[in-house]
Chain A
Amino acid sequence: MRARRVLGAALLAGLVGLIAVQVRELPRQQSRGSSDRRFTLRPEADIESLAARSRSDTVRFRYGLWYWLARQLPGTTIRVTHGTEPLLSPLRGVGDIQVLPWNKTTSLELTSSSSRKLLQRATGEFRLPEGRLHVLVDPRADEYVLLTLGGAPYFILPRDQLGRRRR
């Protein structure tokens, strides 16, 4: 009987100790690592601003951009070349944007295979986890096209409507 009581008291003390340690450790655990591990209370629930303020580079550079892009270009169809789709695949399901394969009937003035020439003509760029996404405005283009030349991704726009977010 006494042994059981001692064991019961030990179990209870252990449980209380475990809870106390875990509660004390919570703030310390949050500050570890580079991802978003800190608990924060926000009055708004706008996914774009949450993504844009994320402490995770991947979330901020990729999703922050795509949510913003979806808001800037509502109802747009973006054509992607083979191999570029994974870059833009996070756009699937974001806002009113369709991602379709490039049908190659789109007329593009920028058909040069020299990525250096294209880079010089880029009007801006976005930062992505994979690197820079260069933006080119081609007034003769019919559609929005995402393509890769010389390993660098380019986003072709028929007209400039992306505001000042580019950097």
Chain B
Amino acid sequence: MTQAGFFALVYAAGLAFNLAWGPRRDAVLACALAFPCGLTFWVLGALLGVATGLASAPAFGLGTLVALVVGSAAASLRRACTPISWTRVAACSAAFVAGAVLVSQFSLAKFSPDSHQFLRIAAVFSRGGRLGETAAFLADRGIFTFLSYAAGELAGVDFMFSLAPVVGLSLAALLAVAISRALEREGVDRRTRLLASAGVTAAVMTTYVIAFHMVYIHANLGSALYLFGFGALFWLAERDGDASLLSPALVCLVAFSIHRVEAPVFAALFAVLAAWPSQLPRRLLAAGLFAFGAITAGWLLLLSAAIPSEGEFLTPGRAVLLSAMSLAPLAGLPLAARLPRALVARHLPTAVLVVASVGLAVTFAIKPHHMMTSLEAVVVNLLGVQIGLFGYAWWAALALGALCLATPPSRIARPLLMGVAVSVIVVVLLGFFRVPYRVGPADSAGRMFIHFLPLLYFLYAVKLVPLRRWRASAAEEAG
């Protein structure tokens, strides 16, 4: 097998999943979700191999992809009454394969010491490595990137040098399609939709740090892809009550939560803000949150027994705490269901913001110098144009955020926007538990802000582009 062949297999499995249990009626969206979902199933299969030790990670990953294709095809046959636009599927799939083949011809990969660590541990897993021999590394980094790069031997290459570009192209495709679909649901005309989706996608993807991560071997662009996938799909599902988008949305949430050691905090935060006030069927939400909680908490508990007791990042105690956090969205769902939805929707985001702000204030009171050093580094990394990470991207985000405050509040976008705002606070807060953040491209907090930028720009687009609806929305709110 070649790299491009592996990407095509992952894409085929993800496409089969989406046509069976995802947006079957929207072939273009199903294709845009195919690679991200397929890669998640590869990783989850490989994770099962690592956790059980019954076979190597690639063997389990490959088995999972094949089982997914067969199972999804069988499920699709049972749902044959829903038509699929095979012409669009063929066109989008051909575009994906052409892109994958093209980027597999060259090595564009960029490295840092972290990248080499990812590749070495991926190599250990690809040769049948077990949890015990890699646990010390897993206390510092999420398992997703290790396992996604563990396909190198299977693909017959020294390392998966084209995975990062394919992840980047998937993000660009999903961003463009999701913005277009969201604006379509908001009644925006076709020309404006095309202009807005192309413009916003270009604005996100030309941000230096994001363009760089399209060739740089690390975990941040994947995190951005999956957090965006969850947020955008949840927005689309909630907008029209389309429950078929819940399955890929929750697949994205699971993928995001195992990308980095602190990711379960953010995953749980977004799950709570999106699911508790949701008008989607509670039973489906509960099933999705159960799957998210079971996978994330199960993995963290397993990890807590294997990792060293002392460490700067993940320790056994912290792993147990994070596993409890992963179960919180499911545990709180029955309580949220008993309260009036409007009450939850209105007050939950504010309550979460207040709790996070109080937590941040406490950390500043305990370690003022440490936290100020971290905060200054975060501000410089985000807004310092000369630092060369985000350029003007966060300046533009702040300006657009201020403009959003002038628009009528949106029931669906508000919790997600608040999720990004609270995440910013949580990133600074997490600096309390480690050495202070530092100015420069290698800083962890600076790279974490990559995760939120695509989702933030998507939410701005769906709030600001349908300008002609502002007055109508204002009238609805007043009514």
Binding site for B on A (CB under 8 A): 4, 7-8, 11-12, 14-16, 18-19, 21-23, 25-26, 28-29, 32-33, 35-37, 39-47, 50-51, 54, 56, 58-59, 62-63, 90, 92-94
Contact = CB atoms under 8 A, between A and B. Distances in A.
A16 B199 contact: yes
Contacts, number: 119
B470 A36 contact: no
Given A16-B199, A92-B120, A59 B467 contact: no
Contacts of A90: 116-117, 120
A45 B109 contact: yes
Interface in B358-408: 386, 388, 391-393, 396, 399
A56 B105 CA distance: 25
Contacts of B124: 92-93
B182 interface: no
Contacts of B112: 35-36, 56, 58-59
B111 A18 contact: no
Interface in B85-113: 105-113
Overall SS of chain A's interface: helix
Contact of B116 (A8, A19, A59): A59
Contacts of B120: 90, 92-94
Contacts of B215: 39
A36 B161 contact: no
Contact of A32 (B116, B195, B388, B470): B388
Contacts of A23: 206
Contacts of B392: 18, 21-22
Nearest to A11: B464
A88 B203 CA distance: 43
Interface string B442-479: 10000000000000000000001101101000000000
A21 B199 CA distance: 13
Contact of B123 (A8, A21, A41, A93): A93
Nearest to B212: A37
A45 B156 CA distance: 12
B106 A43 contact: yes
B110 A22 contact: no
A4 B474 CA distance: 14
Contacts of B206: 19, 22-23, 26
Nearest to A94: B120
Nearest to B390: A22
Contacts of B468: 4
Given A36-B111, A41-B106, A90-B117, A22 B157 contact: no
Given A12-B195, A26-B206, A59 B106 contact: no
A58 B393 contact: no
Nearest to B3: A45
B122 interface: yes
B161 to A, nearest CB: 4
7 contacts: A15-B203, A21-B391, A22-B203, A29-B208, A43-B105, A43-B107, A45-B158
A42 B107 CA distance: 5
Interface of B: 105-113, 116-117, 119-124, 129, 133, 157-159, 161, 195, 199-200, 202-203, 206-208, 211-212, 215, 386, 388, 391-393, 396, 399, 440-442, 464-465, 467-468, 470
A29 B126 CA distance: 35
A93 B107 contact: no
Contact of A4 (B105, B393, B470): B470
Contacts of A15: 199-200, 203
Contact of B388 (A33, A46, A51, A63): A33
Given A18-B392, A26-B206, 6 more contacts: A14-B399, A32-B386, A44-B107, A45-B159, A51-B111, A58-B113
A123 to B, nearest CB: 27
A22 B113 contact: no
A94 B158 CA distance: 11
Contacts of B195: 12
Given A25-B391, A33-B441, A47-B158, A56 B111 contact: yes
A7 B467 contact: yes
A59 B107 contact: no
Given A18-B396, A22-B207, A29-B391, A50 B107 contact: yes
Q: Which 5 A/B pairs are nearest by Cβ-Cβ distance?
A: A93-B120, A45-B107, A22-B206, A29-B388, A93-B124
Nearest to B126: A93
B111 A50 contact: yes
Contact of B396 (A14, A42, A46, A59): A14
A29 B384 CA distance: 12
A61 to B, nearest CB: 11
B389 to A, nearest CB: 8
